[in-house]
Every structure is written in structure tokens, then in C-alpha cells.
Amino acid sequence: MPESARPPSDVPEADSEVEGARRLAERLKARYRKRITGELVMPARPASTAPIPDDLDPAIATALRGRGVERLYSHQRAAWDEVRAGHHTVVVTPTASGKTLCYNLPVLQAVRERKARALYLFPTKALSQDQVAELMELNEAGDLGVRAYTFDGDTPGDARKAVRTRGDIVVTNPDMLHQGVLPHHTKWAQFFESLEYVVIDETHSYRGVFGSHVANVMRRLRRVCRFYGADPVFILSSATIANPQELAEGLVGAPVEAITESGAPAGERHLLLWNPPVVNADLGIRASARSQVTRIARTAMRAKLSTIIFARTRLMVEIITRYMKDVFDNDPRKAARVAAYRGGYLPNERRETEKALRGGNVDCVIATSALELGVDIGSLDVCLLTGYPGTIASTWQRLGRAGRRNRPSLGVLVASSEPLDQYIIRNPEFFLGQSPEQARIAPDQLLILLDHVRCAAFELPFRRGETFGGEDLEALLNYLEEEGVLHRESDTWHWTEDSYPAQSVSLRSVAEGNFVVVDTSDGQQKIIAEVDFSSAAETLYEGAIYLVQAVPYQVEHLDWDGRKAFVTRTRADYYTDAIDYTRLKILDDFERSAAGQGEAARGEVHIVRRIPGYKKIRYYTHENIGYGNINLPDQEMHTTSVWWQMAPEALEEHFASRHEALDGFLGAAYAMHHVAALVVMSEPQDLGRAVGDGDARWFATVGAGGRGQLRTLDGGERDPEQEARFRPAVFLYDNYPGGVGLSSPLFDARARVVRDALALIHNCGCAHGCPACIGPILASDEVRGFSPKQAALTVLEALGEGAAA
């Protein structure tokens, strides 16, 4: 039975199941006490229920009771009341709390009462398919006669007309709504005329650049609905974030009621914060989070506890999968007990893994954030996080994947050596007591807004007096008229191009077109995976080892223009990791401020990223066994940045050499980057980091021996002592084209970033600097002739003197 339809119950599981996660927690605490820096036990919580509404259609009530649901959870009943009153509503409750019924009940009621239509939006195809299956089970249980169809890129052409004309509930994703529905709304006229509800699930995932695009798609959707005389009620659901009502209102563009108290029961949950042991005290190097996670996972599987491991990157998923399979799947005659799940796998392979998880046929799954969302994967006992996911909200969302059916569960957050991880793990009260982050969107970001004004103009002419977002619409329309894509007649702007603007606007990435991975082993031509454009340059270069379920393939040829990578099976005992360089040029500064013996500024920058080569790294020992060259196009973007720069005389005063100053700036930048992510409550990958001169003449990297180097974009090395103009600066930039609003709050908090980075390094117990404060340091003070840790402190102290709070 799907989780959302499971009846409220306080009946405990069998004793052996109850004790499993509890026993493992006690065993880990007894054996590894020094590695555990924090612990939280959340007791089981009983259900809070309410009666099924008297006005619910009897057939729907029968369907619920036929599936064992005699009463609703209190938040399900609250959602029914708000939605039936015509209020836009967001439901914010934990994973597996039955949010699906919050929107299914009022939607099914409206379809049965008056032939209303509903549009369901999910961020992924997997979730869409889950929901159609759930609707079909309710449909069959009550013989409701409701027609629910999926409409996405896999829907056959001959079935699309039936979906448009006969579907009561159409389930799709924002990308398909953007490119496949709204531009062709005249074909959907019958659907839009009767559209009463729009459901947006997993609302917390619509943040950053993706959320900013989706908010504009919702503006276009509401505009088209008004044209057909419809004004649908929006029903949203979200995992816990700090500002669910604000985010929902930003997406919908109207007031939204928030339901935040869950009535669902919850099993007992144990959470351990785990810091790997120090293996080199002088360099402050700890055992890897990967090694600790695989150790805990092996113990859990031997205790017959089903386990999920989250890793930060696709490569890390494959490496951990390889290590776990080496232990548990080394007999080819037996069914696999370990599986990987990540973006890039073909849809049918992901569906098979989901099915195996639900059926209890896989004991351990290793996943990226692709399984963070609410795909039903059955009951899990243990959740292990390989490093801090970057936000408190994502951490709790992932931990919620275990213990989904009233069973006790264990979650373990294993820290990496990165500063953010070490801050969290050394200050458990911050994580355990801090509220989740805010989800930020910037739908009026000019480049994003202009893209959707184009799309909206194609869909319907704009008339004087219309609004679309918070910017001056008429000025945008006049600009597009000057560009030749709009023509103005009296007070109306019409689209004049033959082009189809939505086709060239991606909601999720900078460039169009996924790459397909083609296996050519033994003369075949078989597609085995897909890779998004932004990841292709660092995973599909010629010579790369590409992993699928830990099986290695070597990239023999990359057709960049054709978006194809041709691979063959190999037995390589190593994996590959790309090396990247970032060069940055200041284009304009918006504001400046004194910062101690230097200044801080915010402005527009041009970023050029080059991936010149890769390393070959052996499994288990992780030794570097060789290099290879990569010859691929540069990736460029304009964005906004905050930067800090010392005055030339301050550099001369504080540093005996430019080498020392360079190491100081690299170490300071490393600490500031991780602190800044906490300060502006973003994910670390949302911010980019660079050290350079601001004129794109040179940039700095950590080179061989752990020392700072000056480089040009072609990879050539320069001697900082011979550089005529040596003005290093720390840049923290918004890592999306055009930016999504992170640089402004970061500039406002510029003094705090310097102050907190200073405290982070001061409070680290290492001798010379380490991955937990200033980054990987491979050379001691004696080799350098100075302390890189002290050099970083000197930079921050100089930039912090007298800085405005």
C-alpha cells in the first residue's frame, strides 16, 4: 500500500525490527565514542487524526476505507478545509506524512462533482509516475472513473491529443509545461477552460535559478488561464524549510495559507554526528568520510538493516558502490544486494532500482540528491550522509528517508574535512538547534525575466497596463521591439519572429542538450546513460573512466557538437578526476566599501572556466597514478560577485614575499567561501570561489606541494615575485549566469564573513593549516619558510580592521 494511503497507526513493529536500529546506534556509540560529537534522539510521535469530511464524495470515502484509511491526519483535514474554501495552500510536513492526500482528496472531489480539471507538477518524471500510480489505485478502489494521465517527453505523439482532451488530471513537470503546453495552449483550450486546481509538489526543490524560472512559468500559466476564464487554486506541498509561505507566494504570485503542523505518526529516530579520526596530526588530515560511511554501512547490512547512503557527487556514488559491491556482491550467481541511484542513469534502470527497493530486494542503495525527493522506495532503517549536504533542510530531508513506516531509524552524518562540515560537526548545537534555511528565488532577475517575457509574448500578445513581475514591463517590451522580435500596434505588442522562444530557454541549465553515453563494446551501439551539459566537460572527456553501477567504461571519443560520448568496457583499477581552472574579470562595480587595510566591492564579473586535464586515482589507496590532457571548449558566464582586496602598501607591510601573500589569500578564500555559504544560507555550490587580479591576467591555484601558484588560462605558471602588477583579491561569486541574488546579501554581511572566517581558522587545532580551515596543505612551515595558516590569518586580520558591521 502506498505510504500516503496508509492508515494512522500507533501499533509498533515486531520487537526485532524495533530493536535493530537502536542496537546499531548503541553498538556504534560503544565502539566509536570518540568519533561521535553529537547525538539526538527523537521519540516516537503518535498520530493526530480528524474524521473524514462529511461532504466527501461517498465513492472517494469508500476508496479510502477500502485501503484501510478510517480517519485523516490532522494536516490532511486542515488542507481539505483550506482548499475547499478556495484558498491557495501550502502543506509543510515531514517526509512520509501523507501529503499526497492533501491535494488528491479536493481534486478528486472537484472532478467527481463538476468535471473540473487539475494540473499536477512534479520536479522529476519518477515522482510523476509515482503519483499516477497512486491515483490509479484510489481510482480502482472506489471505481471513481477519474482519468489521470502523464504528459512528458516520453508520452507518444498519438496519445497526446487524448491527454489534452480527455484527461481530468494531467501530471507533468515544469519543463514540459514551459515548452510543451503553454506555447501550444490553443490545443489545450478545453483543458484550461475547466482548470480549477494546480498542484506543485516538492516545493522546496524550486529554489535558486530553477525556482526563479518556475515562478515565471507560473506567471505565464496564470496569464493563459485568465485568457480562458479560469482562476485555479494552487495546492503546494513541501519538506521543512524556514520560509515555506514566502516561497509558495513567490512561486504563485498570490497570498498562500500555510499548514505546518503534521498529524502523522513517527517512529523513534536516532541521529549521530560523526567526525572521522585524525590520521596525520601535523597536517590535520582526517580519515575520509567515504571510508567511515562504508564501515558503518557494512555493519548495518550485516545486522540485516536496510540502508541508504547519500553522496555529494555522482563520482562518489560510483566509488562507494564499488566498495560495497566488492564486499556484498562478489558472487555473480547471486542477486545484487547493492545498487546505485543517480542522475544520468536511463529511466528504465532507475525504475528497476526503485521497484527493487520497494520490494525489499536491495539491502543498500547509494544515491545523490536524486533520492532526496519523495519517490516511494519503501521502508529503510539506516540513512548515512557522506558529508554535510550543504543545508539543514536537505540534511533532514535525506535523514527522513529512513524510518518511513513508524519503524525506529538511525541517521549518521559523517563529516568530511571541509570547513563547513567541520564547523557543523564541532558545533553540534548549531545544527541541532538551528532552523532550516530559507529557499531563495529571484524571479525578477533581468535575464530570467526577459526570457519569460519573450515566451509569454509568443503565447499571447501583451497589452498596455498588463503586469508581469516586478520590473517595468513596458520598458522590456520596448526593448524587445527594438530587438525586432515584437511589433507594436497601438497599445498591443505582438510576437513577430518565426522562432519558438521557449525551446531555447532551459529552466535548469545554462546550455541546451544532454549528452548520451554510447557503449561500443563488442561492436554494439547501445545508449547506457545521459549526462547534462554542465557536467559533461568534467566527466566525458576522452580518457575518462565513466562509471555505471560501479562498472567502468573508458571514453574513447567525445563528439561535443553531436552531444555523444562513445565508451567501451574496461577493467581499470582507477577512476579519473578532472582538474579545472577559473579566471575572472571585473566588468563593473555596483558598490564599494572600506574593509580594514583594503576594500570590499560588489559588481558584475565575467567567468571563464577551463578543464585542461585529469588525474588517474587508484581505488582504495587513492594514490595519483598519472595525468591526461583535456581539450574542450571553455565555459563562460556573466554573473555578480563580491570581492575583497588589500591595498598594495598593506601587502608590502604584512608579507615578506609574494609567495607568502598568495598562500594567505588562497587560505583565506577557502575559509571565507564555506563561512559565506552559512551566512547567506545557501548551498556551497551556489557560490563560486576564485583568487586572482580581477583583470583576468592571472589566477591562483594550489599546485604541487600544496603551494600557491600564479597561472594563465592556458595553464602556464608565473612567478608571483616577477609579476609586475600583483593585486590579489578574493572573489565569491553567484554561481549562476546573471546571478540569483546571493551577492547583495553577501556584500551586506561582508564584515561578518571576514570575522567568522578568522574565528574558524583561529579555533582550528592544526599546526600549519588543514582541510578543515584553509584547505589541503601538503608542505610544512619548514619547507615554505612561513606558516600558510598564519598567512591566511594575516589577510583576514588586515581585511577585518575597522570593517563596518
Total Cβ atoms within 10 A of residue 204: 26
The rounded Cα 611 to chain-centroid distance in angstroms is 23
Supply φ then ψ for residue 654, to 5 degrees. -95, -20
Rounded CA-CA distance 108/86 in Å is 15
The rounded Cα 591 to chain-centroid distance in angstroms is 30
Which amino acid belongs to residue 553? Answer: Y
Residue 75 lies in a domain: yes
Whether residues 652 and 667 share a domain: the answer is yes
Look at the chain and count its residues.
805
Which amino acid belongs to residue 635? Answer: Q
| Pairing mode of beta strands 708-711, 687-692 | unpaired
Residue 441 lies in a domain: no
Torsion of CA 252, 256, 258, 259, to 10 degrees: -90
The grid coordinates of residue 24 equal 546499531
For 214-246, letters b (16+ CB in 10 Å) and e give bbbbbbbbbbbbeebebebbbbbbbbbbebbbb
Contact residues for 663 (Cβ-Cβ < 8 A; gap 6+)? 707, 708, 784, 786, 788, 791, 792
Residue 5 lies in a domain: no
- Angle subtended at Cα 357 by Cα 354 and Cα 264, rounded to the nearest 5 degrees: 95
Closest to 804 measured CA to CA, from 589, 597, 596: 596
CB 642 within 8 A of CB 750: yes
Structural domain range at position 305: 20-43+266-433
Whether residues 273 and 210 share a domain: the answer is no
Residue 439 lies in a domain: no
The helix/strand/coil state of 224 is helix
Domain boundary among 205, 240, 259: 259
Strand partners, 692: 699, 729
Rounded CA-CA distance 532/635 in Å is 14
Domain boundary among 571, 592, 618: 571
Rounded CA-CA distance 313/370 in Å is 11
Indicate which CATH number applies to the domain containing 68: 3.40.50.300
CB 584 within 8 A of CB 565: no
Rounded CA-CA distance 769/754 in Å is 17
Give the distance between the most distant pair of CA atoms in the chain.
84
The grid coordinates of residue 480 equal 524587445
CB 568 within 8 A of CB 553: yes
- Angle subtended at Cα 533 by Cα 220 and Cα 516, rounded to the nearest 5 degrees: 110
Closest to 400 measured CA to CA, from 750, 26, 3: 3
Taking the alpha carbons of 171, 174, 180, 181 in that order, is the dihedral positive or negative? Answer: positive
- Rounded to 10°, the helix 58-66/99-114 angle is 140
Contact residues for 240 (Cβ-Cβ < 8 A; gap 6+)? 92, 93, 94, 204, 393, 396, 397, 436
The grid coordinates of residue 22 equal 537502536
Whether residues 687 and 782 share a domain: the answer is yes
Closest to 239 measured CA to CA, from 95, 379, 106, 340: 95
The pLDDT, as a whole number, for residue 500 is 85
Contact residues for 525 (Cβ-Cβ < 8 A; gap 6+)? 518, 519
Total Cβ atoms within 10 A of residue 335: 9
Whether residues 409 and 357 share a domain: the answer is yes
Whether residues 425 and 453 share a domain: the answer is no
The grid coordinates of residue 256 equal 498562500
CB 725 within 8 A of CB 693: yes
Whether residues 323 and 184 share a domain: the answer is no
Whether residues 273 and 255 share a domain: the answer is no
Residue 341 lies in a domain: yes
Closest to 376 measured CA to CA, from 405, 406, 354, 409: 354
CB 717 within 8 A of CB 701: no
Residue 509 lies in a domain: no
Return the CA Rg of the chain.
Answer: 27
- Rounded to 10°, the helix 314-328/289-302 angle is 40
Residue 11 lies in a domain: no
For 97-125, letters b (16+ CB in 10 Å) and e give bbbbbbbbbbbbbbbbeeebbbbbbbbbb
CB 118 within 8 A of CB 142: no
CB 469 within 8 A of CB 457: no
Rounded mean pLDDT for each run of 10 residues along the chain, 805 residues in total: 37 47 92 93 90 94 90 96 97 85 95 95 78 82 89 81 91 93 95 97 83 94 97 92 89 95 89 90 81 95 94 91 92 87 82 82 89 71 91 82 78 88 80 70 84 95 90 90 91 90 75 80 89 84 91 93 93 88 86 92 89 88 86 85 91 88 90 85 78 76 60 64 77 81 87 92 81 68 73 93 46
CB 547 within 8 A of CB 575: yes
Whether residues 387 and 462 share a domain: the answer is no
Number of structural domains the chain divides into: 5
Whether residues 485 and 346 share a domain: the answer is no
Q: Which residue has the cell 568520510?
A: 289
Taking the alpha carbons of 180, 183, 184, 189 in that order, is the dihedral positive or negative? Answer: positive
Closest to 720 measured CA to CA, from 739, 695, 698, 691: 698
Domain boundary among 378, 404, 433: 433
Whether residues 461 and 583 share a domain: the answer is no
Whether residues 108 and 220 share a domain: the answer is yes
| Pairing mode of beta strands 382-386, 307-310 | parallel
H or E element that contains 411: strand 409-414
Which amino acid belongs to residue 98? Answer: G
CB 306 within 8 A of CB 322: no
Residue 746 lies in a domain: yes
Whether residues 325 and 344 share a domain: the answer is yes
